[in-house]
Structure 1
């Protein structure tokens, strides 16, 4: 494919890695400037901001302008996580650069919780009720930040009214999954249904932990008919909002019933476990967003299973020691940098013949990493 691609995200490493696999030159602006991100990027900038709390608009725009000037002619800009709460910023980026992904209008339609709930009701998609309050029994509700990402913004409702910038969503039962899709002008292609789990902390009980993509020949834990229903719902929503490119539909399922909780209109945290097909997924994403024709098919899924997880620091690393990071450790903090307790330390990746063995390998690798970094405390991360 060739060419320079601007990337802006809270963490840009996975997108930079996917861009390199697609034959592109990534120019990355993110909050971390991890060791492997800087290695992958043709140019990079570290922006101010707070993981899980949105982006600083002026810093994003300045960083992208600087990268565009350094890169010369670019294909456009791909946005990762961190922009869901600010469609106006997405629109401004789109005025200055070509967006390769969801439009500002699509982001607004999908990430405004009340507009999204209304859309789901109109399209017949099961979705937990939402409220601005007051509610009679707060224990039956969760508090979520408008446009939040990563699960760290989710917690039990503490009163009948949400805090400013938050809303209430009714609690529903079920395990978390994500339907990962490639959306084009003529519909969506389902890439995988990944299982997800939380890595709870005392202040962030629903913090995102990791994701598992099952092996191609492995029986999926969810019925095929249920997956087809979720896929049909995602297709209706994509058609109604004009969603393009890689995206994911998060849902909860108790084995029989399911509830769509949100649509992430961007390449997501599952990129590491999914981008292992013959056609690079970011090449397919660019084609789906910029071409007038149907998106290219990424090819057959990999035979084996894959899992990745965010490893959150259990102690302060101030500074991070010099470490010979193994290949399966990604988002590697630079030696001498500071990573505070409960902040993302790195990402761990593993494969296996099936989902169970991939998750076991992932846990073993995470355990060895924690021992090497003297984080020998009890593992509290929830299992799939």
Structure 2
């Protein structure tokens, strides 16, 4: 049963636009804490506070202010807590969090243990090493990274600080993800997604976009679902999440689980936020249909430092909009775009057209 009178929510993320948009579409009102305070975030939220980071010292004054001014029954977190587990634990102590608890979230950031669990469960995966491996075709990944920031190609000749990250075998296949919703040891798949990255400002693996409508042969899909079923026996996931993997040589190689509402959530049914709340609040899952509108989402990064023109008229399909006059540094996100179509291929084609429009807008100011 869905909540009859949706309560006010507190939403916290590095960038909270997607969360607040999903919440408002589902009938909720929300107050927001994030690091960007984008135009559309502030327009959708009842109140919005910008913080320098999600570190506890930065969050506490904002939390105190919102607690004094708003009565929020529940809290939902999004991106950015990978480097701030103490903040997540604090939130859990003071609010009813609708999402994975801090223990599960932190456990999934323990790459060494997660890699061992994959091996013990005989789940195909990309091998990880925690000291410099011999040979080539390895990636060095930050221990608490997100969005592909800091990932670099490497080999054994490169001196990298092991305490700051780990090495994972590079697999030259198709990056994909499985969006799902979980509760009480079970899950429902929402759909398969194709992902892509971009090379900008010295970063070679920045997360750039995602499209729904991904496809796998039946045998590989069943294998993937079986892998997630086994992982749920160890990690009691709640709510929306995604399983990242590489499809290569007729096999799916698991990379990681994202234990929070993923970027792909905005590509599915508008009721998806209610499904998340129901799963977390009541521990129940609804039967999902396979129907969806083909959609694709992309982040537009600055290839050089740009200043946002004043009074710029952003098209309706743009999101995460910076303030007029804001200066966006090279390699930083400018905005995001979403396109739909009769097919996923058409949606991605429209994304490319939209990107050209945005580039022209930024160059001409109109």
**Which of the five TM-score ranges fits, normalised by the shorter chain?**
over 0.9
Distance in 1 of aligned mates of 2:145 and 2:60: 20
Verify the 8 A CA contact 1:322 1:335 in the aligned structure 2: yes
Verify the 8 A CA contact 2:182 2:279 in the aligned structure 1: yes
Q: What does the per-residue CA deviation read over 1:15-64, in whole Å, with 9 as the maximum and x for residues that have no partner?
A: 00000011111211111100000001111111103xxxxx3221123323
Would the alpha carbon gap of residues 287 and 319 (structure 1) be closer, same or farther in structure 2, given more than 3 Å must change? same
Distance in 2 of aligned mates of 1:239 and 1:20: 33
Q: What does the per-residue CA deviation read over 1:258-305, in whole Å, with 9 as the maximum and x for residues that have no partner?
A: 21111000001112212x35xx1111111111114x223455532x31
Classify the secondary structure of the residue corresponding to 1:164: helix
Q: What is the match of residue 154 of structure 1? A: 151
1:178-257 map, 5 Å: 178-214=177-213, 220-257=214-251
> How many residues of Structure 1 are paired with residues of Structure 2 in the alignment?
359
Contiguous gaps of at least 5 residues in structure 1: 50-54, 215-219, 376-384
Give the alignment's TM-score, normalised by structure 2: 0.93
Q: CA deviation at 1:212?
A: 0.5
Give the alignment's TM-score, normalised by structure 1: 0.89
Classify the secondary structure of the residue corresponding to 2:166: strand
Classify the secondary structure of the residue corresponding to 2:167: strand
Distance in 2 of aligned mates of 1:297 and 1:46: 38
1:188-337 map, 5 Å: 188-214=187-213, 220-274=214-268, 276-277=269-270, 280-292=271-283, 294-297=284-287, 299-302=289-292, 304-337=293-326
Classify the secondary structure of the residue corresponding to 2:148: coil
Would the alpha carbon gap of residues 125 and 24 (structure 1) be closer, same or farther in structure 2, given more than 3 Å must change? same
Classify the secondary structure of the residue corresponding to 1:222: coil
Tell me which of 31, 38, 47 is aligned to 1:34.
38
Verify the 8 A CA contact 1:87 1:105 in the aligned structure 2: no
Would the alpha carbon gap of residues 160 and 171 (structure 1) be closer, same or farther in structure 2, given more than 3 Å must change? farther
Q: CA deviation at 1:314?
A: 2.2
Distance in 2 of aligned mates of 1:335 and 1:95: 38
Structure 1 range deviating more: 156-165 or 359-368: 156-165
Q: What does the per-residue CA deviation read over 1:136-155, in whole Å, with 9 as the maximum and x for residues that have no partner?
A: 22x32111111211011211
Would the alpha carbon gap of residues 318 and 372 (structure 1) be closer, same or farther in structure 2, given more than 3 Å must change? closer
Verify the 8 A CA contact 2:200 2:301 in the aligned structure 1: no
Tell me which of 97, 100, 111 is aligned to 2:109.
111
Distance in 2 of aligned mates of 1:134 and 1:112: 18
Q: What is the match of residue 10 of structure 1? A: 14
Q: What is the match of residue 84 of structure 1? A: 82
Would the alpha carbon gap of residues 7 and 38 (structure 1) be closer, same or farther in structure 2, given more than 3 Å must change? same
Classify the secondary structure of the residue corresponding to 1:199: strand
Distance in 1 of aligned mates of 2:73 and 2:191: 27
Verify the 8 A CA contact 1:76 1:100 in the aligned structure 2: yes
Q: What does the per-residue CA deviation read over 1:290-339, in whole Å, with 9 as the maximum and x for residues that have no partner?
A: 114x223455532x310010011123223543211111001111112221
